[in-house]
Amino acid sequence: MEKLALAADHGGFELKEILKEFIAGLGGYELNDLGVYAAEPVDYPKYGRLAAEAVASGQADRGIIFCGTGIGISIAANKLQGIRAANCTSEFMAEMSRRHNDANILALGGRIVEPELAKKIVRVWLDTPFDGGRHARRVRQIEP
């Protein structure tokens, strides 16, 4: 069973809750919700870091993070070594983030991506493997 860390700020809280239910319905995933648990304003870097730490330490296999646009929280997550967080707004971006970049965290914008599209993005991201090969060489080049 794949372990997924979920985290959001207030701008991504609602979408996180919708997708948490959606992913649970897919089966095969153990979800660790790292917060937030309400829509009161918080600082996104804290939650991006919590998810990134879970993935980097091996407590989670991958993560999905949420803020208003997906931008800030993905920047925060990408500060940790070994994290490749991709902010995706389409199924194609989600597919390529996995196939070519081996993204281990998906970032979504709660104010940008509608829930039905977000479900499609998540499904593609969860189902797409890393291609390896020449892409593995490139992924190694982005590590510090």
Q: Looking at the annotation, which residues are catalytic?
A: 67, 100
- Is the distance from CB of 64 to CB of 94 less than 8 angstroms? no
User: Cα(35)–Cα(92) distance, rounded to whole angstroms?
Assistant: 28
User: Cα(32)–Cα(120) distance, rounded to whole angstroms?
Assistant: 21
Alpha-helical segments (H) within the chain = 13-26, 44-57, 71-77, 91-99, 115-127, 134-142
For residue 113, which of 104, 103, 124 has the smallest C-alpha distance? 124
